[in-house]
Amino acid sequence: MAAAADPAADQNPNPKGAKPHEPNAEAEFVEEEYDEDGEEEEYEEEEEEELDGPAAAAAERERVQSVFQRLSSDPVAIRVHDVVIEGNTKTRDEVIEAEVADLLRAAPTVQDLLHAASVATSRLHRLDVFDAVKITLDAGPPELPGTTNVVIEVVEAANPLTGSAGVYSKPEARSWSLEGSLKLKNPFGYGDIWDASGAYGWDQTTEVGVGVYLPRFKSIPTPLMARASLSSQDWLKFSSYKEQLLGLSFGLLSTMKHDLSYNLTWRTLTDPSRASSMAIRRQLGHNLLSALKYTYKIDQRDSLLRPTKGYALQSTSQIGGLWDNKGLRFFRQEFDVRGAVPLGFYNAALNVGVGAGVILPLGRGFMNSSSTVPDRFFLGGQSSPVCSLSGLSSLLGFRTRGVGPTEARRLVPNESGSGSAAPPGRDYLGGDLAVSAFADLSFDLPLKLFRDAGIHGHAFVTAGNLAKLSEGEYKNFSVSQFQRTFRSSAGVGIILPTKLFRVEVNYCYILKQAEHDSGKTGIQFSFSSPM
């Protein structure tokens, strides 16, 4: 009996209204039947008439159909005697067994075993080291009636080395980035995946990194990950500093809902312009960041690109300064809640979301200490708040880091000595407290050509605000004042999804902004990867 994979089985193991398995959809029984007690029925071959041709085929179909009728009506007890793995010339048996053996052995009936085989097939495919997976249920030893052997046949990846590359744009930051990655699958037979990635951004970002992923390591039940990276981020236009990071990251726990990682980073902040504000200059230099980060995530939306129903929740907690380093001890908490409701016309759906975050320094006199600028919250930018679950930073119509507390930059005299100098501008400093919200109404366009291509329209409203709490500013914080100073924008747009990137053409109207905010009414474009 061969069991075929059911892609949805691992996500919803007990679907409501599930129908019995059809013979041509899930399995084929051969050479064996079980009665209700799990015992093999005896057939006297000498009493059977020899059939051939169409008659034999019809008899076989009738016998298989009767077996499936029995499976549809009553549970048939069965026990897994052995799990046999075939086709794995490189992958170690214990890697495959750790993923699926317990699941298969725990099935008490044939029906449960068929479902477990589908789930096991999905799990093995997710390892990303096999081109094909097939699970077959064979008869167990004759002396052990009511048993079966599960045979797992795998086809390992024909090309273990894969790569990708792309060019992405962020018009709100007036920057482009070239990104590429290489992935080496299963070189040591542990299901390990080694990858190297790089990104070069014109006038903003450069990053290179290497990492390894292990689905299982010895008795540890969760995947392990380690990564080393070197990156450079240019924030001169927004906050008058450049950030260089050399770091190590270790994934300690990774499940469908939970993720725990440890990060050790050597951070360097510099100001080549020598025009940064006093608040930025106080934080320039080197420091070591040791942080533990935990993320809890639930996403029940029906789509990441265009949700029409469901909900999502993400909570991220981070403790920085596990080593006693002055200025880098902090606690950072972020929440993000989303919901999508179908409206029943033109495939319309209303998406709403609320995000909030706070960062607090740790240590003696922490409320009078300063939080680190790179770890604060910033608002602004044209990234879609609907797609990404972590959408605190998105505020359509405002420039990247274009909202919140600011401080005047230092005036640098003109080199010509004429005595006149351009206005120094202001540095955006971010906030210790951030709140943002959005509502987005998506709908199909009237033309069938647009609907077939997935092109649709949307109308949106976004709002958000930042506040400073550190360095004693919490004494001046007022909830009513915080509510009155919310920035907001509204607009309409057209979304063009493609296989390579997602394009948004939006008209944004600034409803409310503060004196030093960088918001602009008009047409704005956004290009982003759909992943």
User: What is the model's pLDDT at position 367?
Assistant: 75
With a cut of 80, say whether residue 11 has pLDDT above it: no
pLDDT of residue 48 exceeding 60, the answer is no
Same domain, 134 and 185: no
Same domain, 325 and 468: yes
Q: What integer is the mean pLDDT of 358-368?
A: 82
pLDDT in tens, 127-159: 889 999 999 988 888 888 888 899 999 999 888
Q: What is the CATH number of the domain that holds 185?
A: 2.40.160.50
The DSSP result for 27-92, as a single string, is ----S--B-TTSPBPP--GGGSPP--THHHHHHHHHHHHHHHHHHHHS--B-EEEEEEEES-SSS-
Structure-model confidence comparison of residues 40 and 389, the more confident one:
389
CB 146 within 8 A of CB 38: yes
Per-residue pLDDT for 499 more than 90? no
Contacts of 239 (CB under 8 A, 6+ apart): 276, 280, 373, 401, 427, 428, 429, 430
- Indicate whether 141 and 187 sit together in one domain: no
Mean pLDDT calculated for residue range 17-34: 39
Higher pLDDT, residue 241 or 218: 241
Distance CA 359, CA 371 (A): 7
How many domains are there within the chain?
2
Classify residue 271: in a domain, yes or no.
yes
DSSP lists the bridge partners of residue 154 as 133
**CA gap 440, 349 in Å, rounded:** 8
Mean pLDDT in residue range 418-430: 76
Who wins on pLDDT, 180 or 27? 180
pLDDT tier at 178, thresholds 50, 70, 90? confident
pLDDT, position 336: 93
Kindly state the average pLDDT of the residues 368-392: 83
Q: Is residue 130 part of a domain?
A: yes
Q: Which of 46-60, 64-78, 386-400, 439-453 has the lowest mean pLDDT?
A: 46-60
Could you tell me how many residues make up the chain? 531
What pLDDT score does 203 carry?
Answer: 59
* DSSP letters spanning 366-410: GGGS---GGGSB-B-B-S-TTT-S--TT-BTTB-TT-BS-EEEPP
pLDDT band at 393 (very low <50, low <70, confident <90, very high): confident
Residue 313 in domain: yes
pLDDT of residue 327: 52
**Mean pLDDT score of the chain, rounded to an integer?**
81
Percentage of the chain lying above the pLDDT 70 cut: 80
Does one domain contain both 176 and 227?
Answer: yes
Predicted confidence at residue 389, as pLDDT, reads 76
Distances (CA, A) of 227 to 193, 224, 258: 12, 10, 19
pLDDT at residue 494 is higher than 90: yes
Q: Region 476-503: what's the mean pLDDT?
A: 87
Position 161 in a domain: no
Q: Which of 156, 176, 196 is the last residue before a domain boundary?
A: 156
Exposure string of 368-406, with b = 16+ CB inside 10 Å and e = fewer, is ebbbbbbbbbbbbbbbbbbbebebbbbbbbbbbbbbbbb
91 domain-assigned: yes
pLDDT confidence band for 9 (50 / 70 / 90): very low
Q: What pLDDT was estimated at residue 139?
A: 86
pLDDT at 312: 93
List the single range of 83-97, 293-307, 494-508 with lowest mean pLDDT: 494-508
Is 24 a domain residue? no
- Exposed e or buried b per residue across 305-341, where buried means at least 16 C-beta atoms within 10 angstroms of its C-beta: ebbbebebbbebebbbbeeeeebbbbbbebbbbbbbe
Please give the full DSSP string across 495-524, using - where no structure is assigned. Answer: EEE-SS-EEEEEEEEEEE--TT--B--EEE
Mean pLDDT to the nearest integer, 301-324: 87
Distance (Å, whole) CA 424 – CA 271: 14
150 & 190 share domain? no
Asked if 97 and 219 sit in the same domain, the reply is: no
Of 2-6, 315-319, 385-389, 420-424, where does the model show the most confidence?
315-319
362 closest CA partner among 393, 406, 318, 428: 318
Q: What is the pLDDT of residue 76?
A: 81
The pairing of strands 147-156 and 79-86 is parallel
User: In this structure, are 368 and 505 located in the same domain?
Assistant: yes
pLDDT digits (tens, 9 = 90+) for 111-134: 888 899 999 999 899 888 999 999
Question: What pTM value is reported for the model?
Answer: 0.75
Angle at alpha carbon of residue 69, lines to 68 and 75, rounded to 5°: 80
pLDDT over 70 (residue 18): no
* Residue 479, SS3 per DSSP: helix
Bigger pLDDT: 60 vs 343:
343
Q: Is the pLDDT of residue 443 over 90?
A: yes
Predicted pLDDT at 222: 78
Instruction: Output the pLDDT for position 204.
Output: 66
Look at residues 156, 181, 207 and tell me which one is the last residue of a structural domain: 156
Q: Which two tokens stand for residue 282?
A: 């106080």
Based on the domain organization, do 323 and 194 belong to the same domain? yes
pLDDT at 47 over 70: no
Average pLDDT over residues 276-284: 92
Q: Report whether pLDDT(100) > 60.
A: yes
Q: Are residues 136 and 259 in the same domain?
A: no
Residues 126 and 192 in one domain: no
Q: What is the DSSP letter of 173?
A: G
Which of the pair, 299 or 217, is modelled with greater confidence?
299
Domain closes at, from 135, 156, 177: 156
Q: Is residue 163 part of a domain?
A: no
β-strand pairing of 310-320 with 330-342: antiparallel
Query: Are 218 and 291 within one domain?
Result: yes
Domain span including residue 128:
63-156
Q: Please tell me the predicted confidence (pLDDT) of residue 244.
A: 92
Q: Report the C-alpha gap between 449 and 454 in whole angstroms.
A: 9
Cα dihedral 389, 394, 397, 399 in deg (nearest 10): -150
CATH number reported for the structural domain that contains residue 73 in this entry: 3.10.20.310
What is the rounded distance in angstroms from the CA atom of residue 448 to the CA atom of residue 248?
Answer: 50
In a domain, 507, yes or no: yes
pLDDT score, position 50: 53
Asked if 336 and 477 sit in the same domain, the reply is yes
Mean pLDDT of 471-492: 91
